[in-house]
Amino acid sequence: MERFSNISMAVVRRLPKYHRYLGDLLNNDIRRVSSQELSRITGFTASQIRQDLNCFGGFGQQGYGYNVDELYKEIGKILGLDKTYKTVIIGAGNVGRAIANYTFFDESGFKLHGMFDNSPKKIGDNIKNITVMPIDELESFIKENEIEIGILCTPKEGTQKIAERLVECGIKGIWNFAPVDLKLDSNVIIENVHLSESLFTISYLLKEQDETKKKKK
Partners of 86 in the β-ladder: 111
Q: Please report whether residue 199 would count as binding its own copies according to CB under 8 A.
A: yes
Per CB under 8 A, which of residues 127..146 are in contact with its own copies? none
Write down the least CB distance from residue 58 to its own copies, Å: 20
Per CB under 8 A, which of residues 71..110 are in contact with its own copies? 78-81, 83, 85, 93-95, 97-98, 101-102, 104-105, 108-110
Rg from Cα positions in the chain? 21
Per CB under 8 A, which of residues 44..63 are in contact with its own copies? none
Give the length of the chain: 217
Query: CA–CA distance from 45 to each of 12, 16, 37, 186 (Å)?
Result: 16, 16, 10, 37
Number of residues that bind its own copies (CB under 8 A): 59
**Contact by Cβ (8 Å): 88, 113:** yes
Write down the least CB distance from residue 144 to its own copies, Å: 20
* C-alpha span between 58 and 97 (Å, rounded): 41
Write down the least CB distance from residue 196 to its own copies, Å: 5
Task: Please report the beta strands in the chain, taking only residues with DSSP state E, as ranges in sequence order.
Answer: 32-33, 66-67, 85-90, 110-117, 126-127, 130-134, 149-152, 173-176, 189-192
The site string for its own copies over 143-182 (x = CB under 8 A, - otherwise) reads -----xx----------------------xx-x---x-x-
How many CB atoms within 10 Å of residue 161? 10
Q: Please report whether residue 126 would count as binding its own copies according to CB under 8 A.
A: no
Binding interface with its own copies (CB under 8 A): 3, 5, 12-13, 15-17, 19-20, 42-43, 78-81, 83, 85, 93-95, 97-98, 101-102, 104-105, 108-110, 148-149, 172-173, 175, 179, 181, 187, 189, 191, 193-209, 211-212, 215
